[in-house]
Amino acid sequence: MKNIMEKLSFGLVLLAMMAFAKAGTEVFVSKIIDAPQAREVKLIETEIEPIKIEIDLKDHTSFLNAIGLKESSNRYDAVNRLGYLGKYQFGRTTLKSLDIKTTKKEFLSNPDLQEEAMDRLLTENYKSLRRYINKYEGTVHNGVYITKSGVLAAAHLGGAGNVRKWFRKGADFKDANGTSIVTYMKKFSGYDLDL
């Protein structure tokens, strides 16, 4: 009976200590019972931080958003100082090569047309660079880890011809702002594109 009473007393003291601890008070209890197994107990309330899990989606849509963010802050109505248009900063020559005949005003006010232009450009660049992508993807070439999305981003910046030249001769093309195709290869590496 004495053993049961000791356990019950100990349990009540623990409950009281937990209540104090929840109130943010440190509780010290010394010699709860006069038994040989008595020991000092200290409860301290601690805050447990929730675990934050960040998932870096690297799918086709994320790729388009990342390119758009870099090119124009994802603004369909953007025009830069050199006259490049829209979310992906298309030049008139590129639009013409994609068989997109439109006015500046129509292009800037039509997000669907801009997305179609980007899809066409990615498809054309992939066709043009498929041999290099198949040969080098997953390897390091000229000091750069090669992925399909990185190569196609570089082609968006500097054209497929400059990307081929980089593969053959290591020549790193830079645009009018001084951004190199190697920068794009690295920055936009590893996305899973729907091509």
Residue 40 has pLDDT above 50, yes or no: yes
The CA distance from 57 to 192, in Å, is 9
Model confidence pTM above 0.75 = no
Given a cut of 50, whether residue 6 has pLDDT beyond it is: yes
Whether residue 172 has pLDDT greater than 80: yes
| Cα four-point dihedral sign 67, 72, 75, 76 | negative
Domains of the chain, each with CATH number or no CATH: 2-43 (no CATH), 60-187 (1.10.530.10)
Rg (CA), the chain: 31
The per-residue pLDDT for range 118-149, each reduced to its tens digit, is 999 999 999 999 999 999 999 999 999 999 99
pLDDT digits (tens, 9 = 90+) for 60-97: 999 999 999 999 999 999 999 999 999 999 999 999 99
